[in-house]
A and B are shown apart, each in its own frame.
Chain A
Amino acid sequence: MSDAPFDIGLQPERTLLAWRRTCLALAVGAMLVIKLGAPTLGIVAGIIGVISLGLGAGAYVVATARYRMVHTELSAGRVLPGPGLQVALIALGVALGGSLAAAWVIAVAVDRIP
């Protein structure tokens, strides 16, 4: 087990940080969705927001676990473990939150049009 990084450009490490900041950004978005959406659109919006938040949290956890795998596998000369699960989790989280954002904008804006 080597402590030396796989790549002197620190690619796996930079990728882990990119995953983390993206998951945090989704978490902030999901919390906004809950805060704005639940009072206007009701409990369903709150539940969708919580699911979106959970998908972001899941992607964060999977990304951290995968970083360790990436380091171990690449250092041993084996192939890069795939990010398919993380990609699916975060894309679904953003798509759900974004759809709810569209519903919220329509709901509040239509009321405001004189």
Chain B
Amino acid sequence: MQLDDVNPASGSEPKDTRRPRWVYGAGGEPDPRFSLANERTFLAWVRTSLALIAAGVALEALQVPAHPELRLSAALVLIALGLIAIVQGGISWARTERSMRLGVALPGLTIGGLIIGGVLVVGVLVLIGFLW
């Protein structure tokens, strides 16, 4: 199973075809365990995005007994946060992987504040919607 390693014809490394190239074309190989952890962080963002979208849909699908316009606003904020989370999750995965390859500081939690603020707004909207 190690024939490649002793084959003199394969002296050079196989060409790196991993994508996106702006990530894998830069720097050197980080510890693969860190790359895998970065992948799982991306997946956590995917599930967060799905949860936010599902919460927005649920407000209308279950016809939560709140003021209709406030309820619609809350649902749209939740779905917008979900769409922002999936886009940012993908960008963040790539930027983090690139930073690890270059050995520089990792990018910060760019949209953490936006998610917190958005969910707070949703909570307030639904609360007022109940009392209206």
Contact A90-B72, Cβ < 8 Å, known A36-B61, A84-B20, A109-B60: no
Cβ-defined partner of B19 (8 Å) among A82, A99, A108? A82
Residues of A within 8 A of B23 (CB): 84
Task: Give the interface size bracket for B toward A.
Answer: 35 or more
Q: Which residue of B lies closest to A36 (CB)?
A: B61
Q: Is A4 an interface residue (CB 8 A)?
A: no
Cβ-defined partner of A32 (8 Å) among B32, B42, B54, B72? B54
Q: Is A25 an interface residue (CB 8 A)?
A: yes
Contact A80-B72, Cβ < 8 Å, known A85-B19, A99-B83: no
Is the beta-carbon distance between A105 and B89 smaller than 8 angstroms?
Answer: no
15 example contacts (A-B, Cβ-Cβ < 8 A) are as follows A1-B1, A15-B40, A18-B39, A19-B39, A19-B43, A21-B47, A25-B46, A32-B54, A36-B61, A76-B5, A87-B93, A102-B79, A109-B68, A110-B72, A112-B68
